[in-house]
Amino acid sequence: MVGIILATHGEFAEGILQSGSMIFGEQENVQAITLHPSDSPESLKERMLAAIATFDDQNEVLFLVDLWGGTPFNQANNLCGEHPNWAIVAGLNLPMLIEAYSSRFSMETAKEIAVAILESAKEGIKATVEAPAASTTATQQTNTIPEGTVLGDGKMKIVLARVDSRLLHGQVATAWTKSTNPNRIIVVSDSVSKDELRKKLIEEAAPPGVKANVVPIKKIIEVSRDPRFGNTKALLLFENPQDVLRTIEGGVDIDTLN
């Protein structure tokens, strides 16, 4: 039977595990892993592995996580890179979990179940009111701005420069973004800019109303000198202090580093 790891920020995993048991009955080979503010990504990963070690079949494991791009997702994704049979589904809700329990009776692989539960998870999101129709004029965007155009005062504003090996994760996407109010999150890394999977994950993890980009160091130096970015309020994320130093030496004006 496919093992299931429920991994979330806070006690959500424990709560939804209990709710699932009330509806579908107690389940074997299911473990809840919670991320607390004091936890490190490494300790979370170790607890995931310890939980998986209790499963009858450790070759087929399905991770159900709360937030795409959050720390639980990132650590599960690291493990899946080492175990090609394992799979992840983000956006955990109760219909998803119930469908996963049911699918284990007829499906033998984590990837099969991952595909099968998506529709139930989406169908479980409903509202008693209809969303207003989107305005076409509000969604129109200028695709290109001519070179040499000056927007604002012609100088990009850096609202926060932060070193974080996890880059764009749950805390950055919520607390830091809320406190600094950027309109763009820029991950500055030569290595990550060459990794298409990590780039996609980072871009999709951006909070509503904020764009996320991954650029090499050379590019952020060019952007800092481009007057077309005068209206940009940027939150810069670096993997290590060495990349910050190279960025500053290239002429990017970073006064304070978190």
Confidence at residue 126, expressed as pLDDT on a 0 to 100 scale: 82
- For the annotated catalytic residues, the residue numbers are 9, 169
Confidence at residue 195, expressed as pLDDT on a 0 to 100 scale: 86
Domain boundaries, the chain: 3-123, 151-249
Same fold: 3-123 with 151-249: no
Residue stretches of the chain with pLDDT short of 50: 134-143
3-state class (DSSP) for residue 240: coil
Confidence at residue 151, expressed as pLDDT on a 0 to 100 scale: 82
Of the options 1.10.10.10, 3.30.70.580, 3.40.50.510, 3.40.640.10, the CATH number for the domain spanning 3-123: 3.40.50.510
Confidence at residue 105, expressed as pLDDT on a 0 to 100 scale: 87
d(CA 181, CA 177): 5
> Are 156 and 231 within 8 A, CB to CB?
no
**Which run of H or of E encompasses 122?**
helix 118-123
Confidence at residue 131, expressed as pLDDT on a 0 to 100 scale: 63
Q: Which two tokens stand for residue 201?
A: 């994950």
Confidence at residue 134, expressed as pLDDT on a 0 to 100 scale: 45
Confidence at residue 78, expressed as pLDDT on a 0 to 100 scale: 92
> For domain 151-249, which architecture applies?
3-Layer(aba) Sandwich (3.40)
Confidence at residue 144, expressed as pLDDT on a 0 to 100 scale: 64
The alpha-carbon radius of gyration of the chain (Å, integer) is 21
